[in-house]
A = this chain, B = another copy of it.
Amino acid sequence: MPKLKLSKLCSGFNENGFAARLEGPDLIVNAVNTLEDAGDGEITFLSNPKYESAVATTKASAVILKDGVPIPEGVSGIRCVDPYAGVTLAIIALHGYRQHPRWGISEGAHIAPTAQIGPDASIAPSATVSAQVTIGDRCVLYPGSFVGEGAKIGHDCVLFPNVVIYDHSVLGNRVTIHAGSVVGQDGLGYAPVDKKWVKIPQVGRTVIEDDVEIGANCAIDRATLGRTTIGAGSKFGNLIVVGHGTTVGPDCLFVGLVGVAGSAKVGRHVTLAGQVGVAGHLSIGDDVTCGGQSGIVGDIEAGSTVRGMPAMPVENWRRSVKALPKLPELLRRVKSLEQEVEELRRKVDTNP
């Protein structure tokens, strides 16, 4: 593990455009840790104001934080305009990204003779590479991963254990897919005939563009015809479902247990929070944010922040759900008003 002077970290923040300055002794740190768990020789950070009180009691040697929060005695501080960006840079500098095992082309892997595999790829035992597959340079296939016939995987992709890529799917470069996720399985495509379901062959494909990262145990349908697309730079959490023929734009962020039905169009830089559901055949504009558990059942305009089922502008949702528990009493109040008004009317009508 590398060790770094705080002044060095601080320069790194500035070079990356996040203005920072050191307060206190220029110590050497060797790890990043949480406010609660950090100890001697470690640097921590404060980004969420909710945890401000924990700064005073941290046992870290240094802390990355904004102006305004006092730095405890004996602790060095790096004041940074964006402590979250700062700690990201610190973790990259002090810990770096995961190093994958190097299997080479394992003899225990099952690789079709017609598969083409780029240089420096690492293919684990029990991984399967089917006929006519292309695997780019420096890809890592963990044990139990499966790449179906005719699929194309770009350079520097990582398939964690037991990832399944169905036949003819296409992955761009630097795509990372976490354990157990499935790409390109048949969608729910059936023609209803006499109350039975006749299977429609699913002859489209799934395309995952560059720099996408997909969490564990997701499932991205192939298209019936044409393609299902996940746009470049999009990041998915765990247990996410995307239906057949749907297009997800670039740089989206989907949190866990999100479901997007088929033939939907999701724009660029859209955030879907946990357990959001999106119905099929609709459009979500760019830069939309949908709050947790929202149900999207109609088109959503670019730039909106929505919540609720069905989703509405978040401010309306807040007011509505705040009002809802008052509804039972409101029913009583209206009933009593009706009686009073009835009584008043009788009085007014009889004594005109």
Instruction: Show the binding face of A for B, using Cβ within 8 Å.
Output: 32-34, 36-37, 48, 50, 84-85, 87-88, 91-92, 95-98, 101, 108, 110, 124-126, 128, 130-131, 142-144, 146, 149, 160-162, 164, 166-167, 178-182, 185-188, 190-191, 193, 195-203, 213, 215-219, 221, 224-227, 233, 235-239, 241, 243, 245, 251, 253, 255-257, 259, 261, 269, 274-275, 277, 279, 281, 292-293, 295, 297, 309-310, 312, 316, 319-328, 330-331, 333-334, 337-338, 340-341, 344-345, 347-348, 351-352
Known: A34-B226, A219-B217. A255 touches B126 (CB 8 A): no
| B338 in contact with A333 (CB, 8 Å) | yes
- Indicate which residue in B33, B167, B188, B352 contacts A235 across the interface (CB closer than 8 Å): B188
| B330 in contact with A333 (CB, 8 Å) | no
Known: A91-B225, A146-B144, A200-B91. A256 touches B238 (CB 8 A): no
- Indicate which residue in B146, B201, B236 contacts A91 across the interface (CB closer than 8 Å): B201
CA distance A95 to B18 in the complex (A): 55
Which residue of B is nearest A237, CB measured?
A: B188
Known: A88-B200, A178-B185, A215-B188. A241 touches B257 (CB 8 A): yes
Which residue of B is nearest A47, CB measured?
A: B191
| B330 in contact with A330 (CB, 8 Å) | yes
Interface centre among A92, A218, A274, A325 (most CB of B within 10 A): A274
| A334 in contact with B331 (CB, 8 Å) | no
Interface centre among A124, A144, A235 (most CB of B within 10 A): A144
Interface centre among A185, A312, A338 (most CB of B within 10 A): A185
CA distance A224 to B37 in the complex (A): 12
Which residue of B is nearest A48, CB measured?
A: B281
CA distance A186 to B76 in the complex (A): 30
| B182 in contact with A179 (CB, 8 Å) | yes
What chain B residues lie within 8 Å of A255 (beta carbons)? Answer: 188, 261
CA distance A321 to B92 in the complex (A): 47
Q: How far is the CB of A189 from chain B (nearest CB, A)?
A: 8
Which residue of B is nearest A238, CB measured?
A: B219
- Indicate which residue in B196, B201, B345 contacts A251 across the interface (CB closer than 8 Å): B196
Q: How far is the CB of A211 from chain B (nearest CB, A)?
A: 9
- Indicate which residue in B219, B226, B261, B281 contacts A50 across the interface (CB closer than 8 Å): B281
Q: How far is the CB of A127 from chain B (nearest CB, A)?
A: 9
Known: A186-B178, A238-B221, A239-B239. A126 touches B124 (CB 8 A): no
| B328 in contact with A331 (CB, 8 Å) | no
CA distance A108 to B2 in the complex (A): 38
| B179 in contact with A164 (CB, 8 Å) | yes
- Indicate which residue in B130, B180, B202 contacts A162 across the interface (CB closer than 8 Å): B180
CA distance A224 to B328 in the complex (A): 41
- Indicate which residue in B185, B269, B320 contacts A216 across the interface (CB closer than 8 Å): B185
Which residue of B is nearest A203, CB measured?
A: B95
